[in-house]
Amino acid sequence: MIRRALISVYDKTGLLDFARALAARGVEILSTGGTLRALSNAGIAVTSVEAYTGSPEVMDGRVKTLHPRVHGGILMRGDVDTADLERLGGAPIDLVAVNLYPFVETVAKPDAKVADVVEQIDIGGPAMVRSAAKNHARVTVVCDPVDYETVLGELSASNEVSAATRRKLAAKAFAHTAAYDGAVAAYMSSLGDPDPAEEAAPPKREAYPRYLTLAFERAYPLRYGENPHQSGAFYRERTAPSGALALADSLGAGGKELSFNNLVDVDAALEAVREHDRPAAVIVKHTNPCGVAVADGLEAAYRRAREADPVSAFGGIVALNRAVDEATARALAETFLECVVAPSFSDEALGVLRAKKNLRLLATGAWLGADHRELAWKRVGGGLVVQDRDGSAIGEVAGARVVTKRAPTAEELAALDLAWKVCKHVKSNAIVLARPDRTVGVGAGQMSRVESVRIACRKAEDGARGSALASDAFFPFPDGVELALEAGVTAFAQPGGSVKDAEVIAAADKAGAAMIFTGVRHFRH
């Protein structure tokens, strides 16, 4: 039974309804600061923590809940500690609803000064949350407004919160404080030595703090991992931005959840389709784009992408950068696909696609731009390699340096731009042949660049003639360019920087082809 609750929240979502429901059940509510004022102004009976402890807030509110009557009331173990608590003049606290100062939000502000950020390091809040979570055998702890409904539902049904729910809420509370402390440690360890100038301006910070804590929450278990003999689960980053795959809505599971490989492929497809402003479609197989196209309409873009490599498209993952309409849905339904991800789906499109057996549908809602910033990492034995996300490619072809006697035509530049945007999403060594509106051949993941050229040209067949080629890194020898020229390629985009650049350029000049150097490499391992 909950007789007394301590509520002190920065995020006041759902606060008044929650407190009213508790008060209606005869629960005595203790509170502080802004929460106290909000409850009082709403006409909800509330006692200040100051009145409960008999000790005034001091130091501008820095010390208000760090008191034996507060923590004794939370940590007391039933009859075991009753006498001690009575001696302190306290009373049992059965529910603690606390969330913390907006430290992460403050750090994210570009003009945040060190003093402003440090002031948002919550002390009393985490102490109460951890105390309540430790004593979850008796106390219910709520750090997320989402859980108010669960608590009230159980109280209405049985006049108490179950032991199972208290334990789940305690685990969530410890995860909450762990993530919070991790964010504080990352910020503090990103700062250099104290500088008097920090008082007047935002500090200079290291891009990679000494201490990096990654906070994830298990979203759901997977049927298995990369292979059937491996187990697996999908974890959602607690600070994932709107539009990220982790926050996408599943609108049709097709009878089974996404697999480990599906999720990796969906992420690769999403990353690739974000590069394009025009209606675009990307089809991915085993993390590599096998067909990419743009058009004035989404249906046409998808059909062009599928035609680029219809064999590989079978059983693939499709990412689209526009809302899926009925016409596009009918085109998608013509081929067996594992998953379709897009910003949204019309009701008519859902009616068509949900009839497909085992087709998964994901809607991202918000849309992240091609240049959005975030850290990317990969697990290696005993650690992580961390880097900033490769958010460049847009404008690199337009700003590239022409190195051959002939400059690319407007049509070739458009084809090079598409090929270049696709190339950065193909596993290295990567070669992409394209027209202005679609890819025609992709060579991925080979140990030698010339072999990737050979594969891309073979896949393109007659489509290689008159196409443009993008290479994710420089050509170490002229042989790759010569092979592409034999297949009919007329224009090339590459970073440049090889000791054999002069020979590579000479090979292109000899054939009357155009070549540009972007100066940027896009390896993807």
Active site residues: 134, 286
What single-letter DSSP state applies at residue 140? E
What does the chain come to in residues?
525
Which contiguous run of DSSP H or E holds residue 26?
none
SS (H, E, C) 67-92: CHHHHHHHHCCHHHHHHHHHHHCCCC
Tokens representing 293? 């196209």
CB-based contact 136:151 (threshold 8 Å): no
Cα–Cα distances in angstroms (integers) from residue 134 to residues 75, 128, 145, 148, in the given order? 8, 10, 20, 20
Q: Is 382 left (phi over 0), alpha (psi -120 to 50) or beta?
A: left
Q: Which residues of 227-243 are buried (b: 16+ CB within 10 A; e: fewer)?
A: eeeeeeebebebeeeeb
Q: Where are the alpha helices (DSSP H) in 427-474?
A: 449-460
Alpha helices per DSSP H over 296-395: 298-308, 310-313, 326-332, 347-353
SS3 472: coil
The whole-angstrom separation of Cα 40 and Cα 34 is: 10
